[in-house]
């Protein structure tokens, strides 16, 4: 492995954004046939390094060579022709085009001088089948959920059969089975001599597939390591720059304090526009309730219904013993609910607005438009959350689109925390967030619950759920399979429940 041929080098790369030194003299080396994990906290500079390499951002200084020859990448188009194919962190496809077209646009197969649609649809179907995705490729992309869109982006990058493949957090919305398919394909491509750069916050995945690891911290290179010879605890230490004890604290912070169970919300026999069937659910004051299940099992639909984003077609919903009819997001907010959506790009952030404005949004909605929150107050609130969640930014007047992916997620979380809700629904709140902050967020969630807030927590990471939740509701196929609490809940029981429920 040591003597693998060098494919790509980046030397002394620097990049400064107004107020932020995103990269400072960073070196990076990729060898042929290796999977190279690029790791670091949120805002460490991973995506920036990739954008500089692919010509999306220009670099202030440094050299790049590909197969020994110096290159100056001018645009992502140029990068593609040089053989560098990329899946960026935020899905970058066109929702108005068909799935197949998204995979082939810009390099469509032609017949008699015209685009060969039959061929495109056929090849797209094959490519997705290789990743075990079986969908109608002639439908527009925006008719599919985020996970499928991510698979489509990956299929596109894979098919560009390049020398270098870059995957910036490709697995953030995928479930275990989909990840496995992806890893199989990645290994196959490696064996064919491709070099792969893999960015992720899931450290288990790093150890599962990668040969080598490069760690960045605050825009500087920490070092390059063999994956085999770097234990996980040490790796985390290198990423956060201090010894890693936080996670352990979490385990002990969690305690059983649920004696006086007072119900906050109940629903009976709920049937919704989102296809939920006959759901019974009870949320108590001050508890963290987990919703477990696979992709499409009805977790998101449940919280959408409670928040009034999906219409309730049958059954009853009551909050604090008063029945709610005609639930709408604005009534839900006023009743004291908050919903942090999983779809950060299209339902969450408002890119053009500043961090302050993004944080204040829900709070202002709760207060009503006529009770304006003064700017000083707004700044105070934002700064408090920037500190609490360790959001990396030069100040609260920065446009949110200039933040790193993980830091945008933190702002979204801050938005709902700021409303100080009685029931907070978190749908994948830690997606794309680094290990250190993840632990921090889990701690905050538990603290809030202790203060009496009810929390519904959804995450595709089972350990995270098990760590935070006192009670878990297992869903499958839009139906409730059952509930687990205390010591009965562990990963295997849940998986068995889901598997059993499926055969019914």
Partner 1 sequence: MKKGILSKNFQLFVTIVLFLVLFLAGSLRYRGFFSAQVFLNLFIDNAYLIIIAVGLTFVLISGGIDISVASVVAFVGMLSAYLLQNGWNPYVVMLLMLLIGSTGGFLMGYIIHYFKIQPFIATLAGQFLYRGACFIISTTSIIIDNPVYTTIANYQIKLAPKAYISISVVIALLVVIAGTIMARFSKFGRAVYAVGGNEQSANLMGLPVGRIKVLVYVLSGFCAALGGIVFSFYTLSGYGLQNIGLEMDAIASSVIGGTLLTGGVGSVVGSMFGVLIQGIIQTIIIFQGNLSSWWTKVAVASLLCLFIVLQRIISANRDKFKRKMLNNA
Ligand X SMILES: Nc1ncnc2c1ncn2[C@@H]1O[C@H](COP(=O)(O)OP(=O)(O)OP(=O)(O)O)[C@@H](O)[C@H]1O
Residues binding partner 1 (CB under 8 A): 56, 75-77, 79-80, 86, 88, 92-97, 101-102, 105-106, 108, 110, 114-115, 117, 136, 138-140, 142-145, 147-148, 156, 273-275, 295-296, 298, 300-301, 310, 478
278 binds, among ligand X, Mg ion, partner 1, none (CB under 5 to 8 A by kind): none
* Total residues belonging to the chain: 504
Q: How far is the CB of 64 from ligand X (least distance, A)?
A: 17
Phi, psi at residue 266, to the nearest 5°?
Answer: -135, 145
502 C-beta neighbours (distance < 10 Å), count: 12
Q: How far is the CB of 12 from partner 1 (least distance, A)?
A: 26
Q: How far is the CB of 26 from ligand X (least distance, A)?
A: 11
Phi, psi at residue 453, to the nearest 5°?
Answer: -80, 140
Given candidates 133, 276, 362, 403, which one binds ligand X under the rule CB under 6 A? 403
48 binds, among partner 1, ligand X, Mg ion, none (CB under 5 to 8 A by kind): ligand X
Tokens 């899931």 belong to: 202
Closer residue to partner 1 in complex, CB, 141/267: 141
Q: How far is the CB of 23 from Mg ion (least distance, A)?
A: 12
Query: Taking CB under 6 A as the rule, which mask of x and - marks residues 48-67 in contact with ligand X?
Result: x-------------------
354 binds, among Mg ion, ligand X, partner 1, none (CB under 5 to 8 A by kind): none
Closer residue to ligand X in complex, CB, 7/52: 52
290 belongs to the binding site for ligand X (CB under 6 A) = no
Could you list the residues that contact Mg ion (CB under 5 A)?
47, 89, 404-405
Given candidates 40, 55, 290, 338, which one binds ligand X under the rule CB under 6 A? 40
Are 284 and 485 a contacting pair, CB within 8 Å? no
89 belongs to the binding site for ligand X (CB under 6 A) = yes
Binding segment for ligand X (CB under 6 A), chosen from 44-52, 59-67, 146-154, 172-180, is 44-52
**How far lies 61's CA from each of 11, 26, 40, 72, 274, in Å?**
9, 10, 21, 11, 51
Given candidates 92, 364, 402, 485, which one binds ligand X under the rule CB under 6 A? 402
Q: Name residue 479's beta-bridge partners.
A: 476
**How far lies 267's CA from each of 272, 273, 278, 471, in Å?**
12, 15, 9, 16
The burial class, CB within 10 Å (0-12 / 13-18 / 19+), for 314 is: exposed
Q: Which of residues 15-34 bind ligand X (CB under 6 A)?
A: 17, 20, 22
Closer residue to partner 1 in complex, CB, 256/504: 504
Structure tokens at 9: 């080098």
The burial class, CB within 10 Å (0-12 / 13-18 / 19+), for 437 is: buried
Phi, psi at residue 148, to the nearest 5°?
Answer: -65, -40
20 binds, among ligand X, Mg ion, partner 1, none (CB under 5 to 8 A by kind): ligand X
Closer residue to ligand X in complex, CB, 405/501: 405
- What stretches of 231-336 adopt beta strand conformation (E)? 263-272, 279-284, 288-292, 312-319, 322-323
Closer residue to Mg ion in complex, CB, 39/468: 39
Closer residue to Mg ion in complex, CB, 272/404: 404
Q: How far is the CB of 392 from ligand X (least distance, A)?
A: 4
Closer residue to ligand X in complex, CB, 239/473: 239
Q: How far is the CB of 98 from partner 1 (least distance, A)?
A: 9
* Distance in angstroms (rounded) separating the CA atoms of residues 360 and 366: 10
Q: How far is the CB of 92 from partner 1 (least distance, A)?
A: 4
Q: How far is the CB of 407 from ligand X (least distance, A)?
A: 5
Closer residue to ligand X in complex, CB, 156/201: 201
Taking Cα atoms as reference points, which of 226, 175, 265, 238 lies closest to residue 455? 265
Q: Which residue is nearest to ligand X (CB)?
A: 406
* Distance in angstroms (rounded) separating the CA atoms of residues 448 and 469: 13
CA dihedral 80, 82, 84, 89 (to 10 degrees): -50
- Edge-first strand order for the sheet with 35-39 is 84-87, 164-168, 195-199, 35-39, 212-217, 220-226
Q: How many CA atoms lie within 13 A of 68 on its CB side?
A: 1
Binding segment for ligand X (CB under 6 A), chosen from 40-48, 236-244, 333-341, 481-489, is 40-48
Structure tokens at 194: 């491709």
Which parts of this chain interact with ligand X (CB under 6 A)?
A: 17, 20, 22, 40, 42-48, 89, 392-393, 402-407
């Amino acid at each position: 492995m040591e003597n693998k041929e060098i494919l790509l080098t980046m030397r002394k790369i620097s990049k400064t954004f107004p107020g932020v030194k995103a990269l400072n003299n960073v070196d990076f080396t990729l060898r042929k046939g290796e999977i190279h994990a690029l790791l670091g906290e949120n805002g460490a500079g991973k995506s920036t390094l990739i954008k500089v390499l692919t010509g999306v951002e220009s670099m202030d200084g440094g050299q790049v060579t590909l197969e020994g020859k110096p290159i100056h990448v001018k645009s992502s188009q140029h990068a593609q022709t040089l053989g560098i194919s990329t899946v960026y962190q935020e899905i970058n496809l066109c929702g108005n085009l068909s799935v197949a077209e998204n995979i082939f646009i810009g390099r469509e197969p032609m017949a008699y001088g015209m685009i060969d649609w039959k061929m495109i649809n056929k090849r797209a179907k094959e490519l997705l089948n290789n990743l075990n995705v079986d969908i109608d490729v002639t439908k527009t992309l925006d008719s599919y959920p985020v996970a499928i869109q991510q698979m489509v982006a990956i299929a596109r990058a894979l098919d560009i059969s390049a020398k270098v493949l870059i995957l910036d957090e490709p697995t953030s919305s995928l479930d275990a089975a989909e990840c496995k398919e992806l890893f199989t394909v990645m290994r196959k491509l490696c064996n064919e001599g491709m070099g792969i750069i893999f960015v992720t916050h899931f450290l288990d995945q790093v150890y599962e597939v990668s040969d080598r690891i490069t760690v960045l911290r605050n825009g500087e290179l920490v070092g390059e390591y063999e994956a085999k010879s770097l234990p996980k605890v040490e790796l985390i230490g290198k990423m956060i720059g201090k010894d890693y004890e936080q996670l352990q604290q979490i385990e002990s912070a969690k305690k059983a304090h649920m004696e006086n169970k007072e119900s906050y919300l109940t629903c009976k026999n709920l049937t919704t526009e989102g296809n939920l069937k006959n759901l019974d659910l009870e949320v108590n004051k001050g508890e963290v309730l987990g919703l477990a299940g696979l992709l499409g099992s009805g977790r998101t639909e449940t919280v959408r219904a409670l928040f009034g984003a999906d219409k309730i077609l049958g059954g009853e919903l009551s909050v604090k013993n008063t029945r709610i009819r005609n639930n709408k997001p604005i009534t839900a907010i006023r009743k004291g609910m908050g919903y942090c959506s999983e779809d950060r790009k299209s339902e969450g952030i408002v890119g053009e607005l500043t961090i302050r404005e993004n944080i204040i949004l829900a709070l202002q909605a709760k207060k009503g438009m006529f009770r304006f929150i003064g700017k000083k107050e707004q700044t105070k609130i934002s700064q408090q959350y920037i500190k609490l969640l360790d959001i990396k930014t030069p100040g609260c007047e920065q446009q949110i689109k200039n933040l790193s992916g993980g830091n945008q997620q933190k702002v979204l979380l801050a938005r709902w925390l700021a409303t100080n809700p009685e029931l907070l629904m978190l749908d994948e709140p830690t997606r794309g967030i680094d290990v250190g902050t993840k632990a921090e967020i889990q701690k905050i969630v538990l603290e809030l619950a202790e203060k009496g807030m009810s929390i519904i927590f959804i995450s595709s990471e089972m350990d995270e759920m098990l760590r935070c939740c006192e009670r878990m509701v297992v869903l499958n196929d839009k139906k409730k399979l059952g509930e687990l609490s205390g010591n009965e809940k562990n990963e295997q029981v849940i998986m068995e429940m889901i598997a059993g429920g499926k055969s019914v």
